[in-house]
Chain A
Amino acid sequence: MNLWRKPFDIDEKAPRPVKIHIDIDRCKGCGYCAEFCPRGVLKMTGELSYKGYDMVGVVDDGKCLGCGLCEAMCPEFGIYLIYEDKELK
């Protein structure tokens, strides 16, 4: 018996390709996005930004789920997702 089939809504539910945008003018280096990202996509770089705050960087956006947690958690509204497949409606 075949116990596994492809979910019918796999196309709808599959993670959409995203790019992560970090706004260097807004980020204050609190590190929340890097700490709580479930996939380890973001990391504190150990360098300072031009404003003197710790800088966060994208290690591997291929691993990103597009869950949006980093975007929701950022106290500075300073990180957000850009959907690569966005098309004009």
Chain B
Amino acid sequence: MEMIKIINLHKSYGDLEVIKGIDLDIKSGEVVCIIGPSGSGKSTVLRCVNRLETPTSGRIIVDGKDIMDPDTDINHVRTEAGMVFQQFNLFPHMTVLDNVTLGPVKVRKMPRSDADKLGLALLEKVGLADKARNYPEQLSGGQKQRVAIARALSLKPKVILFDEPTSALDPELVGEVLEVMRQLASEGMTMVVVTHEMGFARDVADRVIFIDDGVVQEDSNPGDFFSNPKNPRLRDFLGKVA
């Protein structure tokens, strides 16, 4: 069962072609890690999936809905495909709980009390129930990112897109975020994770994808990906980061 199907995706910014024909199928329950050098187009692919960026050409099907079809309600698609950003992007003027309940209340029209119950349960899940009444600026980076994950979960999405969720964190705070992501993976959540955390990709991913120069250079299981990489660019890349 396909959760995300990307067919011949191209994306240009002006004259600069960033994505040069990508095909990708992500099945329900799969955890797919995307790695690649900075500027290779990883974020762009992810952001095309929930149409934060508009593809130049190609098709993207999310949970059976063609996101480029004018009849598709993109706001609904976005509730099915949550997103976690490198810079967290929490809403600084709202409490942690309100960050998590905004979607349920305004998008799902959930009654306040139900939304609060849901929000607290999600904060509990990421280990931050005691911070519900705090403001984001009172949290550490790792805590902020865990709130962002709770916010992404608040609409009960079918897939979550993570764009370098630990890259903005101090090294000692990376673990707590990866731990939450591991738990989500073990619960069967479909996840697409752009990351430089090779350990996480090796342990948690069902598939690892190497994107360079706007195309998929390698797409295999973590064992082959790390121990027996076929693509010369990937070998070069792994040599540099290892």
Q: Do the two chains belong together in a single complex?
A: no
Binding site for A on B (CB under 8 A): none
